[in-house]
Structure 1
Amino acid sequence: MNLRFVEAFYWVASLKSISRAAEKLFLTQSAMSSRIAKLEEELGVLLLDRSDKQFKLTAAGARFLMHANKLLELQRDAKAEMGSGESAAISLRIGAIESVLHSWLIPWLEQLRLEQPCLELELTVETTPILNDQIQRGTVDLAFAVLPSSADGVRNQALTPMDMAFVGHPERHAKKKYRLEDLADLELLTFQKGSQPNLTLLDLFRQHRLQPKKVHAISSISAMVQLVQGGFGVALLPVAAVERLSGFASLRILPCDVAVQSLPIHASYRADPTSNLLETVVQSALMFAEGAYHAPKKSMKGKP
């Protein structure tokens, strides 16, 4: 039995699409269809129900999926035990939200390049809903987002949450301590509407029966930092991102009498019986993020 055909079937079944599986394995759609047809011919059964436009496995296909998973895991374990190494470049598609990008993602990728020299990285920066959709569709292999993915066959691991703080210009926002009422009178900047930080900010003021003067929705941390630097307002940002950006921007974390909820971060990735690479990469990210969180912090103007 040709295990390349088995792998093709596994990804078609997992991603519920021949076209998505073809993209995952860097094949044409016709080549992918051909592999499935040849596997069906060898097994003597139909694996895909082609009578309906909606993707569906046949009863035989559902049974064979379990065997496919075991066969690919056996191949993986045999290669590992016999010392078979991958010398060719391995593509890894990573997606992340802005908060992760501007905090620990870049230095982690630099470390990952040393740990896994065969990796070819594709990086995309998007919002959590888009990243979770991409994980479900199989267009990214690993996503760092606020919410875990709920797609079938996707594993989720929680990373260290990111502390959030109100950030202002050190000369325009120089109070020793700010009450939430003080901040409500200022123009506030946060991420796009519907995002976790945006909802957190609105809920914080709602819980204290306050109505902010203005809340501007900005999708870019860099844009928010430049607006704060220009005196436009006060931004709710991840502390780790602020510390990395503080080298080129005039920023001050504003001490506040009310704690802001931390931003949860999850790593989501689809189980792959052909390789332990993603598990290894995720563990590397978990350890790096934890280390970055507990690393000595930079000195910032006005930081409590």
Structure 2
Amino acid sequence: MNLRFVEAFYWVVSLKSVSRAAEKLFITQSAMSSRIAALEEELGVLLLDRRDKQFRLTVAGMRFFNHAQRLLALQREIKGEMGAGAGQQRSVSLRIGVIESVLHSWLIEWVQHMRSGNPDFELELTVETTPVLVDQVKRGALDLAICALPTVGEGLRSRALPPMEMVFVGHAQLHRKRRYTLADLARLDLLTFQRGSQPHVGLLDLFRAAGLELKRVHAISSISAMVQLVEGGFGVATLPLAAVRRLAERLPLKPLNCEAQLPPLPVHANYREDPTSAVAQGVVDAVVDYVVALPDHRKKR
């Protein structure tokens, strides 16, 4: 039995789409269909119900899916054991998606850390908002998505990472008060992430609970844009403290001392369980270990 055909069937079922599975395996949709047809011919049963455009498994397809998972897991185990026995260093190629908060906080150091242990580490990086990243990992377009929400669904896994402390950030020369009250900040233009995001909702809730009406809240999806606006004296932004400390090394930014704390930004590592490879799980473990081991002044100030 050709395990490439088994792998093709596994991803068609996992992603519930022939086209998405073809994209995942970097082959054409016709080639994917041919692999499924060849597998059906070898088994002597129909695995997919093709009577209409809606994706359906036959009874035989549901039964074979369990076998496919075990076959691919065994293949991974054999490759791992034999590869380790040969003492060969295997390259790691990974499609990672992250939110900007992660990019500006610790992602670069983590990539350098990964590269030092595996010189052949190859990265395909996507920087997007949380809803886009969640959708891409569900469709199989990403191996790993690090964002503000967990993914939910069959075959999907999520692990919580340490949340990021959020702070009010002002211009180092323009915002000189030793301590800001919420009333002080309410009179300023405030910049935060896109509407409906956790930082946006948390900011509104903080002032609502204090009974304060905000002058203006600008919803901006880009940290770079927020930083440039703060530089230009446009207002005060809400950003992860770890990102601010990095950016303040070269820009006139500073976290403002405030009487109230913003809610922390949750972070989740999301990936699809893949019996054909231990890479995603191994990289998630590496991410968790790295972030948890960050010094306290980087994680929770």
C-alpha contact (below 8 Å) 2:242/2:298 kept by paired residues: no
Superposition pairs for residues 271-290 of structure 1, below 5 Å? 271-290=273-292
Give the Cα separation in 1 of the matches to 2:202 and 2:297.
Answer: 26
Match of 1:126 in 2: 128
Match of 1:234 in 2: 236
**Counterpart check, 1:157 vs 2:159:** yes
C-alpha contact (below 8 Å) 1:97/1:125 kept by paired residues: yes
**Counterpart check, 1:77 vs 2:77:** yes
Pairs aligned (count):
298
Match of 1:300 in 2: none
Question: Structure 1 stretches of 5 or more lacking a match?
Answer: 298-303
Residue 171 of structure 1 and its aligned partner are, at CA, apart by 2.3
Equivalent position SS for 1:83: helix
Residue 172 of structure 1 and its aligned partner are, at CA, apart by 1.7
Equivalent position SS for 1:30: helix
Give the Cα separation in 2 of the matches to 1:56 and 1:134.
Answer: 22
Matched letter for residue 82 of structure 2: M
Match of 1:301 in 2: none
Equivalent position SS for 2:293: helix
**Counterpart check, 1:176 vs 2:178:** yes
Residue 92 of structure 1 and its aligned partner are, at CA, apart by 1.3
RMSD between aligned residues: 1.7
Structure 1 residues 87 and 18, CA, compared in 2 at 3 Å: closer, same or farther?
A: farther
Residue 169 of structure 1 and its aligned partner are, at CA, apart by 1.3
Residue 215 of structure 1 and its aligned partner are, at CA, apart by 0.5
C-alpha contact (below 8 Å) 1:226/1:249 kept by paired residues: no
Matched letter for residue 159 of structure 2: Q
**Counterpart check, 1:115 vs 2:128:** no
C-alpha contact (below 8 Å) 2:230/2:237 kept by paired residues: yes
C-alpha contact (below 8 Å) 1:192/1:198 kept by paired residues: yes
Matched letter for residue 50 of structure 1: R
Structure 1 residues 19 and 88, CA, compared in 2 at 3 Å: closer, same or farther?
A: farther
Please list the CA deviations of residues 87-139 of structure 1 after superposition, one character each: whole Å capped at 9, or x if unmatched: 77553111010100110011111221233333321101111111011011111
Matched letter for residue 67 of structure 1: H
Give the Cα separation in 1 of the matches to 2:69 and 2:214.
Answer: 53
Instruction: Please report the TM-score for the alignment, with normalisation by the length of structure 1.
Output: 0.93
Structure 1 residues 116 and 63, CA, compared in 2 at 3 Å: closer, same or farther?
A: farther
Give the Cα separation in 1 of the matches to 2:120 and 2:56.
Answer: 36
Equivalent position SS for 1:288: helix
Give the Cα separation in 1 of the matches to 2:186 and 2:10.
Answer: 53
Superposition pairs for residues 35-46 of structure 1, below 5 Å? 35-46=35-46
Match of 1:205 in 2: 207
Residue 54 of structure 1 and its aligned partner are, at CA, apart by 1.2
Structure 1 residues 88 and 35, CA, compared in 2 at 3 Å: closer, same or farther?
A: farther
C-alpha contact (below 8 Å) 2:195/2:201 kept by paired residues: yes
Structure 1 residues 296 and 207, CA, compared in 2 at 3 Å: closer, same or farther?
A: closer
Matched letter for residue 42 of structure 1: E
Please list the CA deviations of residues 72-94 of structure 1 after superposition, one character each: whole Å capped at 9, or x if unmatched: 11111122222367777553111
C-alpha contact (below 8 Å) 1:160/1:293 kept by paired residues: no
Give the Cα separation in 2 of the matches to 1:40 and 1:58.
Answer: 11
Match of 1:32 in 2: 32
C-alpha contact (below 8 Å) 2:169/2:236 kept by paired residues: yes
Give the Cα separation in 1 of the matches to 2:262 and 2:234.
Answer: 21
Q: Percent identity?
A: 62
C-alpha contact (below 8 Å) 2:165/2:265 kept by paired residues: yes
Give the Cα separation in 2 of the matches to 1:70 and 1:94.
Answer: 26
Q: Tell me which of 213, 217, 220 is aligned to 1:218.
A: 220
**Counterpart check, 1:270 vs 2:254:** no
Structure 1 residues 91 and 22, CA, compared in 2 at 3 Å: closer, same or farther?
A: farther
Give the Cα separation in 2 of the matches to 1:192 and 1:110.
Answer: 30
Question: Structure 2 stretches of 5 or more lacking a match?
Answer: none
Give the Cα separation in 1 of the matches to 2:55 and 2:89.
Answer: 36
181-190 or 84-93: bigger deviation: 84-93
C-alpha contact (below 8 Å) 1:148/1:268 kept by paired residues: yes
Matched letter for residue 141 of structure 2: T
Structure 1 residues 296 and 126, CA, compared in 2 at 3 Å: closer, same or farther?
A: closer
C-alpha contact (below 8 Å) 1:188/1:216 kept by paired residues: yes
53-62 or 235-244: bigger deviation: 53-62
Residue 142 of structure 1 and its aligned partner are, at CA, apart by 0.3
Give the Cα separation in 1 of the matches to 2:62 and 2:298.
Answer: 51
Q: Tell me which of 92, 107, 113 is aligned to 2:94.
A: 92
Structure 1 residues 94 and 232, CA, compared in 2 at 3 Å: closer, same or farther?
A: same
C-alpha contact (below 8 Å) 2:96/2:126 kept by paired residues: yes
